[in-house]
Amino acid sequence: MFQGVHLVSRFYLAHFFAIIGPIITIKSFIVYLSYFGLKEKPFSIAPNPEYLYMSERHKEALLHLNYGLGDSGGFVLLTGEVGTGKTTITRSMLKSLPENTEVAFVLNPALSELELLASVCDELSISYDPDTATLKSLTDALKSRFTDNYRAGGHTLLVIDEAQHLSPSVLEQLRLLTNLETDDKKLVQIALIGQPELQTLLQRNELRQLAQRITSRYHLLALTESQVFAYIQHRLQTAGCDTALFSHEAVSHIYKRTQGIPRLINLLADRCLLGAFSAQKQVIDKSVVEQAAKEALPMVSMNSEPASEKNLKQFIPALSLVVASYAIGFAAAYIF
């Protein structure tokens, strides 16, 4: 009987610590901010335009977007590898648009032609009957809104993120939207944002008419090593810290591990801050970066492990905190 009671007690204790484990982990993230004199997390992966580091490449990308949208053409194109900062640049561009610009932002482009037009109508708060809507009725409704905006001295912009997922038929429907024009101006402009596969898609023969309407295009590359140092300092300063928390050797190792991709830099640098806080270090060195890379990045060493081990490690970082929390809980239960 007592053994049964003991087992039940351990069961509830295990779940208690499994619950408070994540809370303790979250608290650690908060505490390290004050430890380094930060007002907020400097390396969040959220696309916050306030933290946009304007490298020469990012300046060029933003310049191309603004130039294309200032023209009378129909499409602008921004491509780049995963995590290079396309969405952040796009959001920065949107903040600089004139107030009379009405924007429709489509984040899920894996849609049919009808669904895409309906999504644009939803973004622009255009009423329609979903049960009877057709391509023609939605196109007419959009044309009416575009025309009204133009007559009121305004402008309409459609932004499609992850555009590499668009089907050729949907891209053709977008091209047809840009047929709505006056003698000197398109009534709607479209910004296509996507990964390099989008460039390949637009080279298809059936999309040559659309490709010819792209007035500005830019492919965003990753940061150089010197830019990674400036990028890290920029984000730390934006978050309220003017101290160089990362040694040059640490930054060099971050560049090596991330290949200059901002999203990976954020993941790794954030874990470095947590690791340095745990070890009560004021400056992050190479050893902290190496340990953080093992915990935070999909692959620790490129081209140095069998493919099966690499695939396995891709799942480890995302689950590490949860697993650790539950492990603490169950271990504590058995101690008691």
Neighbours of 104 (CB within 10 A): 21
Decide if 62 is inside a domain.
yes
Closest CA to 192 of 219, 227, 154, 221: 219
Count the neighbouring beta carbons within 10 Å of the beta carbon of residue 129: 7
The strand order across the sheet containing 155-160 reads: 101-106, 155-160, 189-194, 75-80, 214-220
Give domain status of residue 299, yes or no: no
Instruction: pLDDT band for 313, please (50, 70, 90 cuts).
Output: very low
What are the backbone dihedrals phi and psi of residue 305, each rounded to the nearest 5 degrees, phi first? -130, 155
User: Do 232 and 244 touch, CB atoms closer than 8 A?
Assistant: no
Backbone φ and ψ for 33, nearest 5 degrees, come out as: -60, -50
**pLDDT number for residue 52:** 86
Yes or no: say if 51 and 42 are a contact pair by the CB < 8 Å rule: yes
Q: Does 71 or 125 have the greater pLDDT score? A: 125
The verdict on residue 238 lying in a domain is no
Is the pLDDT confidence value at 297 over 60? yes
Q: How confident is the model at residue 29 (pLDDT cuts 50, 70, 90)?
A: low
Taking alpha carbons only, the member of 183, 217, 223 closest to residue 67 is 217
Domain range for residue 72?
56-220
Has residue 247 been placed in a domain?
Answer: no
DSSP helix/strand/coil, 193: strand
pLDDT-derived band at 299, boundaries 50, 70, 90: low
Residue pLDDT, tens place only, 170-219: 999 999 998 888 877 889 999 999 999 999 999 999 999 999 999 899 99
- Rounded Cα distance between 141 and 286, Å, is 58
pLDDT at 326 > cutoff 50: no
> How many Cα atoms are found within 13 Å in the side-chain-facing hemisphere of 251?
17
Q: How far apart are CA 313 and CA 294, in angstroms?
A: 9
At 253, which amino acid appears?
H
Confidence of residue 271 (pLDDT cuts 50, 70, 90): very high
DSSP 8-state code for residue 49? G
Look up the CATH number of the domain holding residue 75: 3.40.50.300
Of 120, 136, 51, nearest to 92 by C-alpha is 51
Question: Do the domain assignments include residue 161?
Answer: yes
Of 49-63, 223-237, 295-309, the range with the highest mean pLDDT is 223-237
CA separation for the pair 91, 70 (Å, rounded)? 17
Structural domain count of the chain: 1
What's the pLDDT at 272?
94
Pick from 130, 132, 135, 123: nearest CA to 188: 123
pLDDT at residue 270 greater than cutoff 90? yes
Does any domain span residue 294?
no
Label residue 30 by pLDDT band (50, 70, 90): low
Q: What is the pLDDT of residue 334?
A: 42
C-alpha–C-alpha distance, residues 174 and 198, integer Å: 15
Report if residue 10 sits inside a domain.
no
pLDDT of amino acid 305: 41
Q: Is 206 left (phi over 0), alpha (psi -120 to 50) or beta?
A: alpha
pLDDT on residue 27: 52
**Would you say residue 330 has pLDDT above 70?**
no
pLDDT bucket at 21, cuts 50 / 70 / 90: very low
What percent helix, strand, coil does the chain show, rounded to 5? 60, 10, 30
With respect to residue 95, please indicate whether it lies within any of the assigned structural domains: yes
What pTM, to 2 d.p., does this model score? Answer: 0.75
d(CA 138, CA 328): 56
pLDDT (tens digit per residue) in 122-171: 999 999 999 999 999 999 999 999 999 999 988 899 999 999 999 999 99
